[in-house]
Every structure is written in structure tokens, then in C-alpha cells.
Structure 1
Amino acid sequence: MAAAAGPAPDPAAALPSKEAFELTGHEGAVLNVRLNPAGTYCLSCGKDRTVRLWNPHKGIPIKTYSGHGYEARDASVSRDNSQFASVGGDKQVFLWDVGSGKVVRKFRGHDAAINAVVHAASDDVLVTGGYDQCIRAWDCRSRSTEPIQTMRAFKDDVTTVAARGHEVLGGSVDGTLRRFDVRMGRAYTDDLRHPVTAAVYTGDGLCLLAACLDSTLRLVDKETGELLASYRGHTHTGVKMGCALMPGDAFVVGASEDGRVFYWELVEAALAKSFPAHKGAVCGVAAHPAGAFLLTAGADGAVRVWGC
């Protein structure tokens, strides 16, 4: 006679929430943390005007990049890992050589501090968004330091940018998500009616996840604009904080001003797990592409690596 089957395993039990490493070195708040596309190393952006390179698998520092005159707010790594771009209060885009630690180029064109940067579909193009209410695109191959395209549809600060294929996504304090099809010259707007501080594509590219300043994350159908789900329980009312999706899109990751990290089920929007991560706001989150760990950046000056 066959033995009775045991209870089904709880998928939430495998979500990273156990501290593996604490990465320290920044003097002041860490405003963001970004993984390279392969998930082999990460960059942290600090209020101390530095960008730091780490091996999150071993919990060790590799290199510090100094050159910003103001806080570093965001970074993006090229797919071949040879270069990365960083932005912040300088109004400039810094392009760095990873190995030498030298600035290869500075792009100028924003009229105010820059909040976000991402590589587009090709490593040759960078996309940035800033306090001047614009998204700008830059050609890394060109000797020109001027933007190759400017997108001006926003009515307030652009806080976040993402890119997928021929599409650029921006989120703004004006409460909108705006997508620009740069190939067809078309623009699409979703009005969430609450300031947006972070936005990402789902893994399948069909939906958009946005973190809003009314303590709500929202999942929107990209094509129809339909609100599919709202995720609540965290506190997010005054600090720029990130959001993420775990690989496979089964779980949403949100940050909280009380120092906690939250996981919700994507479809049901039910809270799956939360845990204390920092003393003070969690400014940034980044999920390893294979789900091996979660990275968090905190106002307490630390980056932490969370495993299962």
C-alpha cells in the first residue's frame, strides 16, 4: 500500500531571508544596489559619492570607484562586464572601465540631478532619467557627449528607467508610467495617480511592476493598462525605494521605510513573507537571476546578501 503523500512544500520557504553577508564600507546611506546581468558581482551606489564593486557570493569588496562630486544614485553594468555607467547629483553620466577604475567618458545634457540609468537592448546605448523631467539616451560609441534622443512627456521628476527590446520605460513623481517605442516613435501612458519611485518589467515582458509613494506596489498589464494587482503591508511614503521580481515572476519583492523586506505572491497578491533587513529604510533591492540570493541596500550604510 502506497504511503500517504506529505504536505506540499511551501514555495515561500525558499525565498531568501537569511543573512549571508554584510557588505560594509560606505560612509552614509547606500542608495541602490545593482547586479551585473550574470549575477556574478554587484555595484552599490552611495551617498558618500562612491560606487563600490563587490563579490556577493563571497561577501568581499573588489574595488571602489571615486569620481562623483555628489551622491551616486544608480548604476548599470554592460553585458560583457567591461564597463558600467553611474549617475547621481552631478547632472552627468559617468562611463567607467571596470578593470582600471578610470572614467572613460562623461555625458552631459541633463539640467538637474540624475536618478536612474540602464543599458538599453544594446550595450552601446544608455538611458537615463532625472529631475529635469526627461529621459535621455546616449551613444557609448560616439565621441559626442550629447544625448542622441530626449523624451520629454513627463510633468515631474523621472525617478526610474528600464529598457526592453526597442522600448524604454520611465516612472515619475507625476504618477505615470510612460513607455516609448523608439523604433516606431510611439508613446504610451499609464496613470497610476501616485508618485512612482521604481518600475520594472516582469520576466515575460507582459506586465509592469511599479513602487508608489502611497505604500503600494502595482502590477499593470503593459498592453491594456489594466491594474492586475496591488501589494500592500509595507511603508513607502517619502523615500525613493526599489522593487523587484524573483525569477519566474512568482513573487514580488518590496522594500519598506521601517527596514523590512516584503515578498508577495504575484497573482494572489497575498503576503508570503517579510523580514527585518536594515536599521532604517531599505533603499534598493536586487534579485539574483537564478534566485540564489537577494541583495538589499540600506540607509544604515550597509549592503546585505540574503540567502535561503
Structure 2
Amino acid sequence: MAFPQPRPQAPQLPQHLLRTIDCRQGAVRAVRFNADGNYLLSCGSDKTLKLWSGSKGTLLKTYSGHGYEVLDADSQLCPRLYVFFSLCALCFLLLFCPHPGSIDGTVRCWDTRSRRYEPIQILDEARDGISSLKVAQHELLTGSVDGKVRRYDLRMGQLHVDFISSPITCVCFSQDGQCTLSSSLDSTVRLLDKSTGEMLGEYTGHKMKGYKLDCCLSSKDTHVLSCSEDGHVYCWDLVEGSLSLKLPVGKAVVQSLSFHPTETRLLTAMEGRVQVWGAEPEQTDDDDTMAT
């Protein structure tokens, strides 16, 4: 007699607070995992960028010298080093925006191998400020206050535009590269088919009316996550659209979030602190001693 196959377990979600990091750099505008998830980047209103150990939460390096608040950062893998951070890491964004957030509505591209300060290309299709920018291989994804998500295929020289109608606060690609995710000031997160622009899902319930807040997908594209002005992170099942988790972070606005590239770990930023969340409570030294 054949026994029925066990039902697959639902993906775990990061809902246990592992540690809180007091960044001491004013308000934390953005928090990011690096490319392999071993390090954290925090962007401060005091014009600094800080690099932290992902496992211990200890400060490794402070980068200063920026003329404005640091609103976002990114890191890239380097052929010679396992992990490479460009100078201040925020330079990755500055390669494309004259000021993070690009209030002049342009995306500017520089050749980092050249010593010339003039951009090699200016993308000026947006009718209002650029609020969010993501790069994946040969594609560039932007969100604008004019309510449009623009995807530039730099290899083919093509522009694809999706009209959302509400100012965009954040854009990103899905992990499989087939979809785009965008959040907007109508308190809605939208999942679109990258090729056709077809609406695949709408996710609501959070509050996003007056702040530039983040959204993202989990490492395996199973869930959609968003910051909220009510002090929570909202997590929806991507396919069903149902709310899977309402994570209480604190009493202020959750400004930023970042999902680990491979593990079930989440970073959140609120005021001057960063919170690290996991699917299970972290073992302490006492736990290890008891286990032996």
C-alpha cells in the first residue's frame, strides 16, 4: 500500500529578534546585506556609512566624507576578492545618481575605469525625482515620484515603462529575474511580470503615505515584505496574497529592510538602530554548554 507523501513544510519566516545594533550615526536611512550576506551596511543621516559583522554585529569600518545624508548603498562581488566594497560602498549609487534620490529626475552613468567626471550617459525620461534604483546584470530598474517604473535594457538599448499612478518609493527585481516589485505612497506593493507588465499581485494592509520606505522579496521569492509607518514589517505569501506575518519592530516608522540573499534572516532599521531577525532564536554559549 502506497502512503501519501507528506505535505511540504511552509517556509519559515524571520520573526525572532537576534540582536539590536545601536549604529550611532543619527537616523539610519537604509540597511543592507552585502552580496553574500556576511556583512551589513548601515546608511546614516550623519553622512557616514558603516560596515558591520553579520554574525556578531560588531563595527568593522566607518566610511565618511560624503556631503549629504547617505540614503542607500550596495556592494558587488569582485573577481579578485571574495567580497568587494567600493569606496564608501555608496559610490555604487553615486555612479548613477548625482545625489541619492536624484531629485532632478535623471539617472547618470559613469565609467569607473575612466578618470573623467562627466557621465557617459544620462537617462532623463522621468518627469520627477528618482526615488529608487536597482541594477541586475545588464538591466537597470528605477522608480520615480512620477508614478512610473522604468526598466532599461542596456544591452538591447530598450526602455520598458509600467505606470503605477502613485509616487514610487522602492523597486527591486525578484530573485529569479522574472518579476519586478514596487511600493508606492498609496500603501500598496505590486508584483509585475517583467516582460509583459502584467499585474501578478497586489499586497496591502500596511501604511505608506508620507515616507520613502522599502519593500523586498524573500531569498526564495516565496514572500513579499514591506516596511510600514505603523512600526511593523508586513509579510505576505507571494502567490496567495494573504498576510503571513505582521512583525512588530517598534513604535516608530520602519525605515528600511533587507532580506538575506540565502538564509532566513532579515534586517530592519528604525530611528538610529538596526534589528537582526532570524527564523529561530540564536543559540547562546550557555545553550552550547548545556548541550555538551
Q: What SS is found at the alignment partner of 2:73?
A: strand
Matched, 1:161 2:133: yes
Larger displacement relative to structure 2 (176-185 or 214-223): 176-185
Q: What SS is found at the alignment partner of 1:264?
A: strand
Aligned to 1:143: 115
Aligned to 1:17: 15
Matched, 1:79 2:77: yes
The structure 2 residue matched to 1:209, chosen from 181, 199, 215, is 181
Pair 216,107 (structure 1): closer, same or farther in 2 beyond 3 Å: closer
Q: What TM-score, normalized to structure 2?
A: 0.87
Distance in structure 1 (CA, Å) of the matches to 2:97 and 2:224:
35
Distance in structure 1 (CA, Å) of the matches to 2:241 and 2:36:
28
Give 1:268-307 correspondences, 5 Å limit.
268-298=240-270, 300-307=271-278
Pair 108,151 (structure 1): closer, same or farther in 2 beyond 3 Å: closer
Q: 2:219 touches 2:264 (CA, 8 Å); kept in 1?
A: no
Identity %: 41
Q: 1:72 touches 1:86 (CA, 8 Å); kept in 2?
A: no
Residue deviations 1:63-116 (CA, integer Å, cap 9, x gap): 1111123211111112123333659xxxxx747xxxxxxxxxx87983xx322x
Q: What TM-score, normalized to structure 1?
A: 0.83
Pair 203,236 (structure 1): closer, same or farther in 2 beyond 3 Å: same
Distance in structure 1 (CA, Å) of the matches to 2:104 and 2:125:
11
Give 1:1-308 correspondences, 5 Å limit.
9-11=9-11, 14-80=12-78, 81-84=83-86, 94=91, 110=98, 113-115=99-101, 130-298=102-270, 300-308=271-279
Pair 149,5 (structure 1): closer, same or farther in 2 beyond 3 Å: closer
CA positional deviation for 1:2: 10
Larger displacement relative to structure 2 (194-203 or 143-152): 143-152
Q: Which amino acid aligns with 1:246?
A: S
Unpaired runs of 5+ in structure 1?
Answer: 88-92, 96-105, 116-129
Q: Which amino acid aligns with 1:28?
A: G
Distance in structure 2 (CA, Å) of the matches to 1:142 and 1:166:
20
Aligned to 1:98: none
CA positional deviation for 1:21: 1.1
Pair 10,212 (structure 1): closer, same or farther in 2 beyond 3 Å: same
Distance in structure 2 (CA, Å) of the matches to 1:33 and 1:256:
15
Q: What SS is found at the alignment partner of 2:72?
A: strand
RMSD: 2.3
Unpaired runs of 5+ in structure 2?
Answer: 280-292
Q: Which amino acid aligns with 2:278?
A: G
Aligned to 2:286: none
